[in-house]
Structure formats: structure tokens, C-alpha cells
Amino acid sequence: MKQGTNFLSGRILVVAFEGWNDAGEAASGAVRTLQDVLDVVPVSEVDPELYFDYQFNRPTVTDDDGHRRLIWPSAVMYGPVHPGETSHELADDANLRVSGDNVGNIYLLLGTEPSRSWKGFTAEILDAALAADIGGIVFLGAMLADVPHTRPISIFASSENAAVRTELGIERSTYEGPVGILSAISEGAEAVGIPTVSIWASVPHYVHNAPSPKAMLALIDKLEELVDVTIPRGTLVDEAAAWEAGIDALAADDEEMAAYIQQLEQARDTVDSPEASGEAIAQEFERYLRRRGDGRDGQAGGRPSGPDEPWRS
């Protein structure tokens, strides 16, 4: 980070990848929400032939006004429309538009985690970021965890940059273990002088098959706080309430599931209580790491590091 500047003073790139870093589609869903409410256009895109195994990340087919075409896995950076240009018409309703002094400084990167050549992929992403004069990167991620759906989604923000930690009042990750593509890009960004922040949300592991609008909301809430913009939630609030009500209905018909959720609620309430000491919280966190540290599958509990660092229980 350049001397005399701060994290919020320049262009900010908000990043999410589908796959290992995206439980409940929370991170990618949050960036898609931003894409819908910001007036942005594609500014760069990686060549999928270089980075994806199509047997692992298969292209999909879509019907666009009677014309069927393939959508290939990729990663696309979006930037704000310059004065005098237009991309698409945003809603006239001011409540459906992002507001704040930083709106024109927000860039987005959305894609699928690459299957190979991570170093080359990272270099290409950072070249695009430098060309766009990006001053800071915010990584969004989500991991499955032993948390109840009935409590607020746990969020953990961290940074490897000491100046950013001081400015934003966040912590440094101490995790060591398997990582996702976010860690590779973060390390490369810090090496070329672009400071980074990561925001991770927890998603209840017992509902891993469905998108989690509640986790999307939690990520957007934290992003809004750090980046100092007002982001419209659209239908996410209602969708989050419906998501929670749907799980409540399932639990009502499953005594074993209901009992398990109650155990998670008691554990969460104990950690969150004013009586809980720092040592007790640290011990609970260490137990979580031991249980979830096999690293076999980010969706099943492997715990990444740095910008891949999720919440602390």
C-alpha cells in the first residue's frame, strides 16, 4: 500500500469464485448482486482453454432468444461505465441502486476456480488489476461449518497487510493448511503492492445442497461496512427469511435434525455470551480446526488460509 493513502481511497476490486471457496453460492451470489445493481461492463476475461479442465468444469448450454450457445467456465473482470458511455439501463428507483462516494471505484471479478496453472492465472488477473489501477482487493468466500441456521451468519474479516488491519480494525489469519485460488491471488497482489482484505461467511453444513441467501446478505452487510457504500438488498431479505423458514419446516419433521440444530444453537450461544472468556473461545476454535482440517473438500470442511480464512466460531 502506498504511503499516505488508505484502502478506501482508490479503486477496489471485489472478487468471488465459484467452487471450493463458495459454499451455498454465497460469495458468487453476493458479487452477482453487485453486478445487478452497479453499472458495470466487462473489461477483461481469461482464456478458458488455459486454465480449465472441461471434464471437471463443463461448459453449459443456454437458449438466448432462440439461439443456443455454450457458456464456458471463465473469470471476468467488470469495471464501471465511464461518463458518456452506457451499458444497460438500471432501475430508476433509487432504492435499487448502489450509492456512496466509492460507487465509481468498485470493480468486480467473478469466475470459476481454475483447474490448473494457478500461477499463470494469478499473473493474468493481477496484470488486469494493475492495468485498471486497482488500489485494493476484497475477497469474498464462504465455507460449510458447524453453525445453526437460526443464528446470525458468522463473518470473519482478515488481512495480511498490517496497514489495512490498523485502518479497518480487522485481524490477521494464523491458519496453515490447504488453500484455494483466493490465497494465490492475495499473495501475488500483496507482492505487487495491492493490499487485500478477505471476508468469509459460515454456511450451515446440513443445508449444503441449497444456495444460502442469508449468507449472501451477511457478506454484503460486511462489504458495505468496509467499502463504505450503500448496497440495495433487492429480494435477498425475503429470500433469506424463506430459506430459514424452509429449514425450520424440515427440522420440525425430523427429530434428529432438530436435536442437532439445538446442540449447535447452545454451542453458539455459549461462545457469544458475555461470560465466555477469550480462552474458552480460542479453545472452541481450535477444536473446530481439528475437526474440520482434513482439507479434502472445501465444501465439506477443508479449511483454507489467508483470504480463504473463514469465520471463527
> What is residue 299's predicted lDDT score, i.e. its pLDDT?
45
Higher pLDDT, 230 or 309: 230
Q: What is the pLDDT of residues 239-248, one digit of tens each?
A: 999 999 999 9
Contact 189, 1 (CB under 8 A): no
Give me the amino acid identity at 170: I
Q: What is the pLDDT of residues 70-115, one digit of tens each?
A: 999 999 999 998 644 544 444 444 455 565 666 778 999 999 999 9
> What is residue 128's predicted lDDT score, i.e. its pLDDT?
97
| pLDDT tops 70 at residue 307 | no
Task: Please indicate, yes or no, whether the overall pTM of this predicted structure exceeds 0.95.
Answer: no
**Domain locations in the chain?**
11-308
Q: What is the pLDDT of residues 189-223, one digit of tens each?
A: 999 999 999 999 999 999 888 899 999 999 999 99
| pLDDT tops 60 at residue 309 | no
Average pLDDT of the chain? 83
Best CATH choice for the domain 11-308 from the list 3.30.70.1880, 3.60.15.10, 3.40.50.10900, 3.40.50.300: 3.40.50.10900
> What is residue 226's predicted lDDT score, i.e. its pLDDT?
85
Q: What is the pLDDT of residues 16-54, one digit of tens each?
A: 999 988 999 999 999 999 998 888 999 999 999 999 999
DSSP 8-state code for residue 304: -
